[in-house]
Structures are given as structure tokens and as C-alpha cells.
């Protein structure tokens, strides 16, 4: 009888421990972080974007440093661009000696599903307002971006404000001023 009770107690403890371990691994499976380091055409770091995937949504935190390619006291277009067309090369390519219209054209158009129109693209992000000192901070939460589609995309900061109109597939946001490839971060 004592042996039977001891066996039952041991089985209960093992089951409870396994349940806690399983629950913790499932909770951590959703808490994944991606990062993009934004660089200008001269390869200078001008900002960072952190994407933290939680159980219910994605938290985005973007920070911009002062740089010569943005205008203070102005909104700037900000998007996640697809980055998977082999014809456009890889990563973020820009030659500072070439016209602005050629910068970072290695990234494709806005990340989207099917026939989504501009303003509803998965990759259409809120626009950061660059302050008088040239910095900007943008933090928001979204459930529009599928974490499985994020790795390898490119975050692009544009020269002009985005008009978010469906009739303009790029938002009339102008040339691409900074670019960063989204990569999985192995730390928080």
C-alpha cells in the first residue's frame, strides 16, 4: 500500500513538472524578437527597429537618430518591404554617388498579401514624426504582420510623408533614405 501511494505521488509530481515545463516552453515560443538596423547610403547607422512577437500581437519599437537624409518636424514614410526577388540583389543596396531614386531599390515593394491596396498592406507602418533635433521614436502594437513573413524583409525609411491612399501603391513617400534587413534576434 505504501509502495502504491509512493508510486502515485511520484507520478503526480512528474506530471505536474512536465506540465509546467511544457507551459513555459509554449509561452516562450511566442516571445520571439526580430531586429533591423537602419543604415543610410553611406552605411551609417541611423536607427533601429525591434519587433517583439508576443502571444497575442507584435510590439514594434523604432528609434531614429539625427541624419542628413530626413527633414526635422516632418513625418516620413515607413514601411516593411518584401526582400525576396533575386533580380533585385540582396539586403539593402545603395550607392551614395548615384541619384536618391536608386537607393535601396534592392528591396521589393511593400510587404502585402494578395491584392491588398496601399494603406492596408501588412508592411504599411505608422509614420514617425522626426522632431526638431532630428530624432524620432515610434512604438505601437499590431496584429497585422505575420511573424512568419517578417524574417529577411527590409524596413525602409522614406524621404517624404506617406499619403496612405489606396490609389498610390507606394504612398508617394519619395526616395528611400535608410534601409535595414529584419533578422531574428537571439537576445531580448
| pLDDT tens for each residue of 76-110 | 999 999 987 777 767 899 999 999 999 999 888 88
Q: Take residue 135 and report the three cell numbers written for it.
A: 530624432
Helix (H, G, I), strand (E, B) or coil at 119: coil
> Which pTM does this prediction carry?
0.80
Residues 6+ away with beta carbon under 8 Å from 140: 59, 60, 125, 126
Give the model's pLDDT for residue 136.
97
Identify the band that residue 120 occupies on the pLDDT scale cut at 50, 70 and 90: confident
Identify the band that residue 166 occupies on the pLDDT scale cut at 50, 70 and 90: confident
Whether pLDDT at 15 is above 60: no
Give the model's pLDDT for residue 13.
38
β-pair partners for 86: none
Give the distance from CA 102 to its chain's centroid: 23
Give the model's pLDDT for residue 179.
96
Q: Take residue 91 and report the three cell numbers written for it.
A: 539586403
CA dihedral for 123, 126, 127, 128, sign (positive or negative): negative
The single-letter DSSP state of residue 107 is S
Which range (23-32, 71-80, 136-145) has the least confidence? Answer: 23-32
Whether pLDDT at 14 is above 70: no
Helix (H, G, I), strand (E, B) or coil at 157: strand
Mean pLDDT rounded to a whole number for the chain: 83
Whether pLDDT at 36 is above 80: yes
Measured CA to CA, the distance from residue 171 to residue 22 in angstroms comes to: 45
Measured CA to CA, the distance from residue 103 to residue 86 in angstroms comes to: 17
Q: What is the mean pLDDT of residues 7-35?
A: 50
Angle at 103 between CA 97 and CA 104, to 5 degrees: 140
Q: Which residue has the higher pLDDT, 46 or 187?
A: 46
**H-assigned helices in the chain:** 2-30, 147-150
| pLDDT tens for each residue of 122-154 | 888 999 999 999 999 999 999 988 898 899 999
Amino acid at each position: 500500500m505504501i509502495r502504491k501511494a509512493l508510486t502515485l505521488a511520484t507520478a503526480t509530481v512528474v506530471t505536474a513538472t512536465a506540465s509546467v515545463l511544457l507551459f513555459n516552453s509554449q509561452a516562450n515560443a511566442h516571445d520571439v524578437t526580430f531586429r533591423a538596423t537602419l543604415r543610410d547610403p553611406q552605411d551609417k547607422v541611423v536607427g533601429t527597429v525591434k519587433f517583439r512577437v508576443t502571444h497575442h500581437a507584435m510590439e514594434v519599437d523604432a528609434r531614429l537618430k539625427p541624419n542628413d537624409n530626413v527633414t526635422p518636424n516632418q513625418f516620413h514614410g515607413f514601411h516593411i518591404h518584401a526582400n525576396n526577388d533575386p533580380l533585385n540583389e540582396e539586403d539593402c543596396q545603395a550607392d551614395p554617388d548615384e541619384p536618391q531614386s536608386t537607393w535601396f531599390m534592392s528591396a521589393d515593394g511593400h510587404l502585402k498579401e494578395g491584392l491588398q491596396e496601399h494603406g492596408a498592406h501588412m508592411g504599411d507602418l505608422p509614420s514617425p514624426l522626426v522632431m526638431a533635433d532630428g530624432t524620432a521614436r515610434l512604438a505601437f502594437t499590431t496584429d497585422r504582420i505575420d511573424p512568419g513573413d517578417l524574417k529577411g524583409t527590409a524596413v525602409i525609411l522614406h524621404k517624404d510623408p506617406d499619403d496612405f491612399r489606396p490609389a498610390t501603391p507606394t504612398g508617394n513617400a519619395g526616395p528611400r533614405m535608410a534601409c535595414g534587413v529584419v533578422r531574428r534576434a537571439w537576445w531580448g
